[in-house]
Amino acid sequence: MQGTTYSDSLGDIQSIASRLTAVEQLVRDSVMEQIIAKGGPVTAFDLKQVATLHSLDVEEQLAALIKKRTIVVSTAGFITFSYPVSALPTHHRVTLADGRSFHAMCAVDALGTAFTFNQNIMVDSQCSRCRQPVHLAICDQQIMVLQPAETRVLHVDLSLYDNWSGNC
């Protein structure tokens, strides 16, 4: 799926994609694809192997994504998060309609992946308070399955914060 551009459009909420240049979005998409394919953290070296990024200064583009707070890189140089995809295990497992699966950073990010990847999704998660399993499916941008049915999501207006991950 290299070269795919993800929309992140949700009405009036400013998306991550809207903050990026076309080249930065290409790199972000590649980071997400590589994390999903590898099933864990990736490095600048990994990204340099991606054909669509060969002509780019990958380190420069990653620095721009870090500055815009769309990726997180460990001190060892591993890209551990590319919103909404987590390279590290979380309680929020997303399965895309195309069969790929990955961890989302938080429950709200898991919901947003239907829009980011423009696909139907299934999410297997758990309540952060009581640890009760939660399963849902989004089809055609609508929640079609929700178990337990009384599940609720607390949403924070992220437009009020620069660091989204600190308020998830």
Reading the chain (168 residues) residue by residue, the pLDDT tens digits are 334 444 444 445 567 888 899 999 999 999 999 999 999 999 999 999 999 999 999 999 999 999 998 999 999 999 999 999 999 999 999 999 999 999 999 888 999 999 999 999 999 999 878 899 999 999 999 999 999 998 887 666 666 766 555 545
Which pLDDT does position 46 carry in this prediction?
97
Domain end position, chosen among 83, 116, 138? 83
* Burial category of 40 from C-beta neighbours within 10 Å (exposed 0-12, middle 13-18, buried 19 and up): middle
| CB contact at 8 A, 140 and 116 | no
pLDDT at 22: 95
Q: What is the pLDDT of residue 11?
A: 47
Q: For the chain, how many structural domains are there in total?
A: 2
**Same domain membership, residue 111 and residue 66:** no
Tokens of 157: 């207006």
Asked whether residue 1 is assigned to any structural domain, the reply reads: no
Q: Rounded CA gap, 34 and 26, in Å?
A: 12
Q: Are residues 147 and 120 in the same domain?
A: yes
How far apart, in Å, are the Cα atoms of 36 and each of 49, 102, 144? 15, 6, 25
pLDDT at 1: 38
Residue 111's Cβ-count burial label (10 Å; 0-12, 13-18, 19+) is: buried
Same domain, 24 and 78: yes
Cα 162 off chain centre by: 17
Residue 111, phi then psi, degrees to nearest 5: -60, -40
Question: Could you list the residue range(s) of the whole structural domain that residue 41 is in?
Answer: 17-83
User: DSSP assignment, residue 148?
Assistant: S
In a domain, 145, yes or no: yes
**What is the pTM assigned to this prediction?**
0.83
- Which positions ≥6 away from 95 have C-beta within 8 Å? 101, 121, 122, 123, 124
Q: What is the predicted pLDDT for the residue at 14?
A: 66
**Number of other residues whose CB lies within 10 A of the CB of residue 93:** 16
- Spatial neighbors of 148 by CB under 8 A, at least 6 apart, are 132, 134
pLDDT tens digit sequence for 6-43: 444 444 556 788 889 999 999 999 999 999 999 999 99
Name the residue type at position 117. F
